[in-house]
């Protein structure tokens, strides 16, 4: 369809009023005013510059596995790097050059089969490399940041540059990358017997399957663990496991997960988040900080 306005002429990769729910793990939330799926760096630059020129807020979406989109959606441009160009993963010795749109689970399998260890800690964590780097995805078995030696990023004005290991900081579910677009990265892995890495990968996957509600609609952990404590245990101790608001429920398997049942609204999840924060504060005087990114 012909677009008029800020993205006119870019209709081959920009859509207006795109529902975001199908693009997120939660499957809830409203539409994006603009939805941009560039197939090349040039298209990405073109659309980003249009955003800057027209004062349109930029959002970047991976697999939406750590995301809660509000029911009214997003009044801005949501970029998704899911064209083939962004999904490459090339192994050169112990280094892997990987695009931001590459699926973390596929990368785990590919590297394990190649006898390269270092990303098996991501087994069972849904997402793209871009989202994984932004969030420093991981857990008790390690995190993605530990193997990243270079990240290529793009500023909103289209300037592309590399951030290298010496100036990158990966912390608990965060990084010091401020550029809006992560385009790709180099990972440095370790050679190891593929069977041994596969065994470890399966153990990590089993651990996650046994402790997290992987088959229900959710967005991973809602809150960060505060000061070495477990947010899930604090929520459990406040007696909130199984609590239901509308279609949202505190998981009975892991209290730091909120499940979205059929008909659930983003607002149900947000109300439950507010109640959890209040109750945990009342009981322990601990403020729970969001891990999930909220676009509302």
Ligand X SMILES: Cc1cc2nc3c(=O)[nH]c(=O)nc-3n(C[C@H](O)[C@H](O)[C@H](O)COP(=O)(O)OP(=O)(O)OC[C@H]3O[C@@H](n4cnc5c(N)ncnc54)[C@H](O)[C@@H]3O)c2cc1C
Judged by the rule CB under 6 A, the positions of this chain that interact with ligand X are 25, 59-67, 81, 100, 125-128, 130-132, 134-135, 137-139, 173, 181-182, 212, 214, 218-220, 293
Cα–Cα distance, 194 to 200 (Å, whole number): 10
Q: Is 277 a catalytic residue?
A: no
Q: How far is the CB of 233 from ligand X (least distance, A)?
A: 16
Query: Among 18, 43, 120, 291, which one carries the catalytic annotation?
Result: 291
Residue 252 CB, nearest approach to ligand X (Å): 15
Cα→Cα distances 238→123, 139, 214, 224, 234, Å: 30, 24, 23, 17, 6
Residue nearest to ligand X (CB): 62
66 vs 111, which CB is nearer to ligand X?
A: 66
State in angstroms the smallest separation of the CB of 209 from ligand X. 10
Q: Which of 50, 134, 173, 277 is catalytic?
A: 173
Whichever of 115 and 231 has its CB closer to ligand X, that residue is: 231
Residue 278 contacts residue 52 (beta carbons within 8 Å): no
Dist. CA 224–CA 35, nearest whole Å: 29
291 is catalytic: yes
Q: Is 150 a catalytic residue?
A: no
Minimum CB–partner distance for residue 208 and ligand X (Å): 6
- Residue 127 Cβ, how far from ligand X at the closest point, in Å? 2
Name which of 201 and 218 has its Cβ closer to ligand X.
Answer: 218
**Given 51, 121, 221, 264, the catalytic residue:** 221
Q: Which residues pair with 103 in a beta bridge?
A: 128
Nearer to ligand X, 45 or 279 (CB): 45
Q: Which is nearer to ligand X, 220 or 232 (CB)?
A: 220
CB-wise, 8 or 211, nearer to ligand X?
211
Compute the least distance from the CB of residue 66 to ligand X, in Å.
3
Any idea which residues carry the catalytic annotation? Answer: 173, 221, 291
């Amino acid at each position: 369809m012909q677009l008029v306005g800020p993205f006119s002429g870019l209709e081959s990769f920009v859509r207006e009023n795109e529902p975001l729910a199908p693009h997120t793990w939660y499957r809830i939330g409203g539409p994006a005013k603009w939805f941009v799926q560039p197939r090349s760096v040039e298209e990405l630059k073109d659309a980003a510059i249009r955003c800057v020129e027209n004062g349109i807020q930029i959002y970047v979406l991976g697999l939406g596995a750590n995301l809660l989109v509000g029911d009214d959606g997003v009044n801005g441009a949501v970029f998704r790097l899911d064209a083939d160009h962004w999904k490459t993963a090339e192994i050169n010795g112990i280094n892997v050059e990987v695009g931001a749109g590459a699926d973390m689970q596929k990368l785990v399998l590919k590297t394990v089969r190649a006898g390269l260890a270092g990303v098996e800690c991501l087994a069972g964590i849904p997402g793209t490399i871009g989202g994984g780097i932004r969030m420093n995805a991981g857990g008790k078995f390690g995190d993605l940041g530990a193997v990243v030696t270079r990240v290529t990023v793009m500023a909103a004005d289209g300037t592309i540059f590399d951030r290298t290991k010496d100036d990158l900081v990966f912390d608990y579910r965060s990084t010091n990358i401020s550029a809006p677009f992560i385009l790709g990265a180099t990972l440095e892995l370790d050679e190891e017997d593929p069977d041994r890495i596969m065994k470890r990968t399966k153990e990590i996957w089993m651990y996650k399957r046994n402790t997290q509600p992987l088959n229900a609609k959710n967005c991973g952990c809602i809150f960060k663990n505060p000061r070495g404590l477990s947010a899930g245990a604090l929520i459990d101790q406040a007696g909130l496991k199984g609590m239901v608001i509308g279609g949202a429920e505190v998981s009975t398997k892991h209290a730091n997960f909120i499940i979205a049942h059929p008909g659930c609204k983003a607002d149900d999840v947000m109300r439950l988040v507010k109640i959890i924060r209040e109750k945990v504060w009342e009981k322990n005087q601990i403020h729970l900080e969001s891990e999930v990114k909220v676009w509302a």
